[in-house]
Amino acid sequence: MSLSVGDTAPEFSLPDQDKQVVSLSDLRGTPVLLVFYPFAFSGICTGELCQLRDELTTYTDAGVRVLAISTDPVFSLKAFKAQENFDFPLLSDFWPHGETARAYGVFNDKAGMAVRGTFLVDADGKIAFSEVNQPGDARQQSGWKDAVATLAA
């Protein structure tokens, strides 16, 4: 089961595309948008993350850190970030496989991947927005932007 608004966001420490560990606890005091996606280089995921890249100032201007998370290994994420010029970290939930996605209730055991889960974590570590879409169901980012605007107000 996925997390709901008001729940405490599960802690995690995951390597980014450069093998630098990013921990949610280190970002306490700053709102964080967590964007779980199935796979690097796949069509819908690339489109969603490119839109996020192109509209990143919507989040950063509101003081929100953006972290994208998949079960891909760091080497794939490094190539994906370089190819698409992403200005936000891509975190690898590769091993233990999908452990963070499981903690957020967005791991598909049969396929071995994260589904499209989006969580806005407030500065106190509580879920302020939660949305889960299935792998083939592209997300509309207007809900994320509304949640960020509400949090920033």
Task: Return the ∠ at Cα 73 (arms to 5 and 79), rounded to 5°.
Answer: 105
Q: What average pLDDT does range 110-115 have in this prediction?
A: 94
Q: Phi-psi bin for 147: left (phi > 0), alpha (psi -120 to 50), beta?
A: alpha
Whole-model pTM: value is 0.95
Determine the pLDDT at residue 110: 94
Token pair, residue 135, equals 């792998």
Which one of the listed residues 3, 32, 35, 45 is annotated catalytic?
45
Condensed to tens digits (0 to 9), the pLDDT of residues 15-30 reads: 999 999 999 999 999 9
Condensed to tens digits (0 to 9), the pLDDT of residues 73-111 reads: 999 999 999 999 999 999 999 999 999 999 999 999 999
- Our answer to whether residue 50 is catalytic in this structure is no
* Per-residue buried b or exposed e for 70-84, using 16+ beta carbons within 10 Å of the residue's own CB: bbbebebbbebbeee
CATH 3.40.30.10 at 13-152, yes or no? yes
Measured distance CA(34)–CA(79) in Å, rounded: 20
